[in-house]
Amino acid sequence: MHSTVHLLKSTSFPAVKRLKLETLQVNLGYLCNQSCTHCHVNAGPNRTELMQTAEIDLLIDLLGQGWVKTLDLTGGAPEMNPEFKRLVRAARARNVHVIDRCNLTILEEPGYEDLADFLAEQGVEVCASLPCYLEDNVDKQRGKGVFDASIAGLQKLNALGYGDTLPLNLVYNPQGPSLPPPQKALEADYKRVLAEKFGVRFNALLTITNMPIARFGSTLISKGTFASYMDTLKGAFNPANMDSLMCKSLVSVDYQGNLFDCDFNQQLGWPIRDTQGRAMTLHSLAQTSLDQIDVLVGEHCYGCTAGQGSSCGGALAA
């Protein structure tokens, strides 16, 4: 990972100016029941980092100020944080839209049998990882048995109204160093195959480009494909995607309450610094506190702007 970070330090990427801050994307910790090869946070069953009660309390205070429109919860498996349900309830009570970035298999884990019911009861939007509609491809990327557990999780969500009256989106990542295919065409394939084979319904497919950092970046380096992948991303740079970058209206919060421009900068250890050069935290966050601070960009930002673009909401130019 350190080799990847070193390679990403210099950049010619265009400057990014912020818009109005509306979304908090919060990493509740790196604990996860899976260890996926594309995971940019190196999450897994042996990670112990989790957001603690004090930071959760700070988040809830911020939600009460009225300017946060969306609380986007990620991990690891965010649901494995013991404070997950309390935070979700607090957000929904304040009319904040909540997104749960769910790996689906957590819905089948012992101790989480009521999780799907809880998400439906709270009206939480579920963005669920499913890197392919074929079993072999999913199990290769995420582990044996993951596909079957994922389908079972989707069927459980469908039975609760997800994909119909409740929002259920699937997330696609390429398996290797290539850009995602066109989002709409792939979505049509997903919907056809999953409906025909498993009776599964969902609202939209979100295609996300793999970032050349952390576990995926280290894999690229070990295989000697890091430089060629960066060439692919830079060669496909699309300036039209600059206006829709998620970092313009989003701030990423790590499990310790530190602030970053995005989830990827968080993993690179690049905090947002105030005009005095001090790293910012939840204690110093307000809607207007980032207005005069440009987004800290790096070579990996080409991943968000290549081709059709990429964000946590899928393709930018779909």
| Residue 316 covered by a domain | no
* Residue 213: predicted pLDDT: 81
- Number of domains the chain contains: 1
Residue 40 pLDDT > 50, yes or no? yes
Q: Which domain holds residue 113?
A: 2-6+19-305
> What does the pLDDT average to over 184-204?
95
Token pair belonging to 36? 């996926």
145-191 per-position pLDDT tens digit: 788 989 999 999 999 999 999 999 999 888 788 898 899 999 999 99
Residues 54-91 have pLDDT tens digits of: 999 999 999 999 999 999 999 889 999 999 999 999 99
Q: What is the model's pLDDT at position 275? A: 87
**CA gap 50, 224 in Å, rounded:** 33
Instruction: Inform me whether the pLDDT recorded for 2 exceeds 50.
Output: no
Residues 6+ apart with CB under 8 A from 145: 139
Residue 126 near residue 167, CB atoms below 8 Å: yes
Instruction: Classify residue 313: in a domain, yes or no.
Output: no
pLDDT tens-digit map of 207-231: 988 888 877 788 888 899 899 999 9
Residue 82 lies in a domain: yes
Position 7 pLDDT exceeds 70: no
Q: Please give the structure tokens belonging to residue 33.
A: 């029941």
What does the pLDDT average to over 279-307?
91
CATH at residue 66: 3.20.20.70
Sign of CA dihedral 66, 241, 299, 276: negative
Find the distance separating the first CA and the last CA of the chain, reported in whole Å: 31
Give pLDDT, residue 1.
39
Helix (H, G, I), strand (E, B) or coil at 243: helix
| 201 within domain boundaries | yes
Inside any domain, residue 238: yes
Q: Taking a C-beta distance cutoff of 8 angstroms, is the pair 53, 252 a contact?
A: no
Decide if 96 is inside a domain: yes
Checking if the pLDDT of 26 tops 70, the result is yes
pLDDT in tens, 104-154: 999 988 999 999 999 999 999 999 988 778 776 766 666 667 889 899 999
Instruction: Tell me if 12 is assigned to some domain.
Output: no
Give 314's pLDDT tier (boundaries 50, 70, 90): confident
Residue 216 lies in a domain: yes
CA distance linking residue 216 with residue 222, whole number of Å: 10
